[in-house]
Amino acid sequence: MAERAETTKYLLPEDRIPDSWYNIAADLPVPPTAVLHPGTHAPIGPGDLAPLFPLAIIGQEVTTDRFVRIPDAVRDVYRLWRPTPLYRARRLERALELPPGVRIFYKYEGTSPAGSHKPNTAVPQAYYNREEGVERITTETGAGQWGSALAMACGLFGIELKVYMVRVSFEQKPYRRALMETWGATCVPSPSPDTHAGREILAQTPDSTGSLGIAISEAVEDAATRDDTKYALGSVLNHVLLHQTVIGQEAREQMALAEAWPDVIVGCVGGGSNFGGLTFPFIGDHLGGRGEPVRVVAVEPAACPSLTRGTYAYDFGDTGRLTPLVKMHTLGHTFVPAGIHAGGLRYHGSAPLVSLLYDQGLIEAVAVKQRPAFEAAVLFARHEGILPAPEPSHAIRVAIDEALRAKEAGDDKTILFGLCGHGHFDLAAYDRYLSGNLEDYEHPQDEIDAALAGLPTVAI
């Protein structure tokens, strides 16, 4: 049995790719919050969303069915990289001199073609659009991870894609753009002269570096004003978190293979999709009376702390106030975070489903600064080999701290964290860290207060 004791990767065969997505809305203690019309503040119906999304996606946004079947054509594409591996971090455990009762596991999503979990939802979104005859999709991207995942998916299903990429990233990260173009997408810097929203900002601020909120306004306007075009979002919304639950369903089976069960699960939160994807199957098992309780910790950057320092309120998803209003932990739609390197975590709000669980006290949240996150990432890379993206490095920091605390206290503890992407496009950030030029940043309270003062007033 010595061989088995040293297993490093727990792998599943292709036929264990889940055949359904798991929907936590079926197991919540309170009903999910309604989505409101941005003008009237009345709950919106499917017709309001039809200019933006295909009907199948709108249905998934509101369904309370516990399981939603994954179409065969989507599972076929998932086979390119799923099931993804679950690792036991044996070398990291040894480096931390952990006792045998303290164990660290991680579920690795960096083996997808785009290098993160984003293709798990990009592929079904492209598929449902093609099924409903949509010829063109628009989207926004910050650091480029979502844009590249959707470019790959649209390429596979023969759909044209236009990506509005936050200008500062467009200029600083040319390789993500080259990847999108290789997969056949068009990518322009945002704000752009191509939309009314973009032209308005450029008229006021010709050298605007852009923001995710501005790029969303541009992509939504483009889709809403053309009959052949719909819009796709890579995080935050219920259907995106639903698609990501392939991660947690596989992880649950792989933990059983390892004859272990997590006492605590840790994930990084930008909009909340990789976190929800990994943790919801575990949380739902408990809420639905099918499994043991598990502690769940959401980790956000100190520079963009929507859970730990934001407010639970209705807010817009974009700067231009074009999107519907959703109830979420938010820093306000006018909030512009500092230019930290975890680009995927720079969003002003958290997914409504993650926010609801946090509000109900069912999950915990902590904020981590970027230098301690990079310190953990470098330690991880030196012992586990894999170079983590800056976003999950925030989760690695907390996983390591949990392990060290258990060691100190003499407790047994099994920790599972989400390693949702690799950092091969983030080497400029590693370079800054290694040369001592990376700064910590914590957002000043007066700027958070100012952005929160701009929240819409909603009666319900």
Ligand X SMILES: *Cc1c(COP(=O)(O)O)cnc(C)c1O
Q: Which residue in the set 75, 88, 107, 118 belongs to the binding site for ligand X (CB under 6 A)?
A: 118
Min dist CB 196 to ligand X, Å, is 27
Min dist CB 315 to ligand X, Å, is 17
Q: Which residue in the set 391, 414, 417, 443 belongs to the binding site for ligand X (CB under 6 A)?
A: 391
Min dist CB 122 to ligand X, Å, is 11
Min dist CB 295 to ligand X, Å, is 19
DSSP string, 158-198: T-EEEEEEEHHHHHH-HHHHHHHHHTT-EEEEES-TTSHHH
What is residue 386's DSSP assignment?
-
Query: Which of the ranges 85-93, 211-219, 272-280, 361-369 carries the binding residues for ligand X, by CB under 6 A?
Result: 272-280
Residues 242-271, one symbol each (x = binds ligand X by CB under 6 A, - = not), give --------------------------xxxx
Q: Which residue in the set 319, 373, 421, 426 belongs to the binding site for ligand X (CB under 6 A)?
A: 421
For residue 266, the SS3 value is strand
Q: Which of residues 328-347 bind ligand X (CB under 6 A)?
A: 344-345
Min dist CB 118 to ligand X, Å, is 5
| Residue 141 structure tokens | 């991207």
DSSP string, 207-229: T----HHHHHHHHHHHHHT-TTE
Cα 333 from Cα 326, distance rounded (Å): 11
Q: Which residue in the set 141, 190, 211, 235 belongs to the binding site for ligand X (CB under 6 A)?
A: 235
| Residue 223 structure tokens | 């889709």
- Contact by Cβ (8 Å): 159, 133: no
User: Does 423 participate in binding ligand X (rule CB under 6 A)?
Assistant: no
Measured from the CB atom, is 118 or 369 closer to ligand X?
A: 118
Measured from the CB atom, is 103 or 117 closer to ligand X?
A: 117
User: Does 145 participate in binding ligand X (rule CB under 6 A)?
Assistant: yes
Count Cβ neighbours within 10 Å for each residue of 133-148 and write b for 16 or more, e otherwise. Answer: ebebbbbbbbbbbbbb
Measured from the CB atom, is 116 or 195 closer to ligand X?
A: 116
Min dist CB 389 to ligand X, Å, is 4
Cα 380 from Cα 95, distance rounded (Å): 9
Measured from the CB atom, is 95 or 366 closer to ligand X?
A: 366
Min dist CB 114 to ligand X, Å, is 8
Burial level of 412, CB count in 10 A (0-12/13-18/19+)? Answer: exposed
| Cα–Cα distances in angstroms (integers) from residue 22 to residues 26, 61, 243, in the given order | 9, 13, 8
Cα 335 from Cα 348, distance rounded (Å): 6
Q: Which residue in the set 274, 279, 393, 414 belongs to the binding site for ligand X (CB under 6 A)?
A: 274
Hey, what's the torsion of the CAs at 342, 345, 346, 347, to 10 degrees? 170
Number of residues that bind ligand X (CB under 6 A): 20
Min dist CB 240 to ligand X, Å, is 7
Cα 43 from Cα 350, distance rounded (Å): 20
Q: Which residue in the set 116, 238, 249, 414 belongs to the binding site for ligand X (CB under 6 A)?
A: 116
Which element (helix H / strand E) includes 23? none
Min dist CB 354 to ligand X, Å, is 8
User: Does 125 participate in binding ligand X (rule CB under 6 A)?
Assistant: no
Q: Which residues contact ligand X by CB under 6 A?
A: 116, 118, 145-146, 235, 268-275, 344-345, 389, 391-392, 420-421
